[in-house]
Amino acid sequence: MNRRTFTRTLLAICVIVLSLGNFMPSALALGGKQPPIGEPAPEFVLPTNTGDGEIALSDYRGQWVVVYFYPQDFTPGCTLEARRFQQDLPKYIARNVQILGISVDDVDSHREFCDSEGLKFPLLADVDGSVSKAYGSWLGSMSLRHTYLVDPQGILRETFLGVRPAIHSQEILARLDELGVADS
C-alpha cells in the first residue's frame, strides 16, 4: 500500500469512528436512556426508612429535589457520597431543597445505613430496580451513580452521570446557585 492509499484509508477509518459517536442518541448513557431535560421527571412512589414508610416524588412539589441513585449501602463510595450530602444538608435546607437517595437496598439496610452514618434525609428502596430503570440508572442488579435535579413543578432540570462522590454535593450546590436557587 502506498502512502496516499494509507492516508486515505486512515482518514476513512477516522470518519467512520467519529460518525459512530454521532450515531448514538445523546440521551443514551451507561444504564439506559436518560429522561429528557425540560420534561416531567419520571414519577415514583417507593418505600423508605423514614416518615410514614413511603415517599412519592410528587410529595415534594413546590420545592427542588435532588434525586440521587447509588449502588449500595455501606460501600466506600456510597458512604462518602452520603456523608457529603449530610455535611451539606443545612445548605440544602436553607434553599428548600430535598435530598432523596435511591438504591436497590431494602428499607432495613437503609435504616441501618442512616443510623450508622447519621443521615437525616430519606433513602428509598428500589428493590426491583423499576425506578432506576425509568431514570436510565440501572446496571443489571444495581443502580448507577447518577443524580437528577427536579424543579418545584416536577420538571427535570439537570442530569449528572458518573459522579465523583467526594465532590458531588458541592457540584450540586454550585449548579443550584447557577439556576438561581437561593436561600429562602
DSSP class of 28: E
The residue behind cell 444495581 is: 142
Span 26-83, pLDDT tens digits: 344 567 889 999 999 999 999 998 877 999 999 999 999 999 999 999 999 999 999 9
**The predicted structure's pLDDT at residue 29:** 53
- Tell me which fold the domain 29-178 belongs to: Glutaredoxin (3.40.30)
C-alpha span between 136 and 26 (Å, rounded) = 13
Catalytic annotation, residues: 78
The beta strand positions in the chain, using DSSP E, are 28-29, 32-33, 45-47, 54-56, 64-69, 97-103, 123-125, 138-139, 142-143, 146-150, 156-161
Q: What is the pLDDT of residue 67?
A: 98
pLDDT for 71-116, tens place per residue? 999 999 999 999 999 999 999 999 999 999 999 999 999 999 999 9
Domain residue extents for the chain:
29-178
pTM for this predicted structure: 0.83
Q: What is the pLDDT of residue 140?
A: 86
